[in-house]
Amino acid sequence: MKLSKEQLLGFYKTMTTIRAFELKAAELFAAGKLPGFVHLYAGEEAVATGVCANLEQKDYITSTHRGHGHLIAKGGKIDLMMAELFGRSTGYCKGKGGSMHIADVDLGILGANGIVGAGQPIATGAALACKLLKNGAVVVCFFGDGASNRGTFHESLNMASIWKLPVVFVAENNMWGISNYQKNHMNVADIADRAAAYGIPGVAVDGNDVIAVYEAAAEAVKRARSGDGPSLIECKTWRHRGHFEGDPAIYKDPKEQEAWLKKDPIPRLADKIIELKYATRAELDKIEADAQAEIESAVKFAEASPLPAPEDVFTDVYAE
């Protein structure tokens, strides 16, 4: 598959925007400016970017506790995301949800989720709705290696398979479930192998290679859209930081960390773009600087926004 200059530069923009958002969130959290937990996606940008580049606005995603990258890649509004992290009334959840509850249904973002593995049945249900409504939409379900051990994973893949639902399950295998190394929590090397148990295609790809992710997702999305049912894609990647901000990640082998940092998906894509002569280093630096500026402006928006009013404490919390 030959990708155009516009596509690769678009990937670069999305990935550098996610990275800039995450590193800014790390800095703000350390400065005590963000009231809730943040689980950062730095290092895993190629997964959300490569997958979501295959989606249209009418398509849906379900996200996780590590969701900022998914939201940005699906077109989420960065100023509203940042305001939510700050707990401000202009945020996606009017400041009451924080990082793990951001949703934008108009953009097909069915929500981040603090419950590990909870997105899998939601994605399966959304895919059933798409099939019944015949709206031609596809659902992508992002989840981690840890979530691949939950009953929700097995039930969802089975149900999606027998009903041939238009859903793509994307396992983001960053090798860790908090401090639990993959080898210690599952006896298979490739999560993709689990697809065979449900009679659906399963493929493991280099999750730090945005082109490889894009190509695998293109096939799975096409399959889902044409009514041939679900697929499982495992993207092998690495989170650069601790499980959440504040976790020093002392359980990581420093040598392994160093080796993975050398496989950082962003410089890898930059090298590819330069090799193809699609852009110069200076042009890529400009894309990165623009991404940084967008994040700085989102921080200004958030900091200038009011906190929710105390009398609104119960609004949007309970349904009548």
Q: Could you give the 3-state DSSP secondary structure of residue 38?
A: coil
Integer Cα distance of 183 and 149 in angstroms: 12
Q: How far is the CB of 6 from ligand TPP (least distance, A)?
A: 30
Q: How far is the CB of 239 from ligand TPP (least distance, A)?
A: 6
276: left (phi over 0), alpha (psi -120 to 50) or beta: alpha
Give yes or no for residue 36 binding ligand TPP (CB under 6 A): no
Q: Please report where in the chains the tokens 């155009």 appear, as a residue.
A: 4
Give yes or no for residue 270 binding ligand TPP (CB under 6 A): no
Q: Which is nearer to ligand TPP, 131 or 243 (CB)?
A: 243
Integer Cα distance of 33 and 94 in angstroms: 17
Give yes or no for residue 147 binding ligand TPP (CB under 6 A): yes
Q: How far is the CB of 145 from ligand TPP (least distance, A)?
A: 4
Q: Which is nearer to ligand TPP, 147 or 279 (CB)?
A: 147
Q: Which is nearer to ligand TPP, 50 or 229 (CB)?
A: 50
CB-based contacts of 114: which residues, under 8 Å, 6+ apart? Answer: 65, 100, 101
At residue 312, what is the residue type? D
Judged by CB under 6 A, the stretch of 47-55, 82-90, 139-147, 157-165 that binds ligand TPP is 139-147
Q: Could you give the 3-state DSSP secondary structure of residue 179?
A: coil
| Cα 110-113-115 angle, rounded to 5 deg | 140
220 to 259: interface string for ligand TPP, x by CB under 6 A: -----------------------x----------------
- The answer to whether 316 and 91 have CB atoms below 8 angstroms apart is no
Q: Which is nearer to ligand TPP, 37 or 301 (CB)?
A: 37
Residues 159-188 that bind ligand TPP (CB under 6 A): 174, 176-178
Instruction: Name the residues that contact ligand TPP, by CB under 6 A.
Output: 65-66, 114-117, 144-147, 174, 176-178, 243
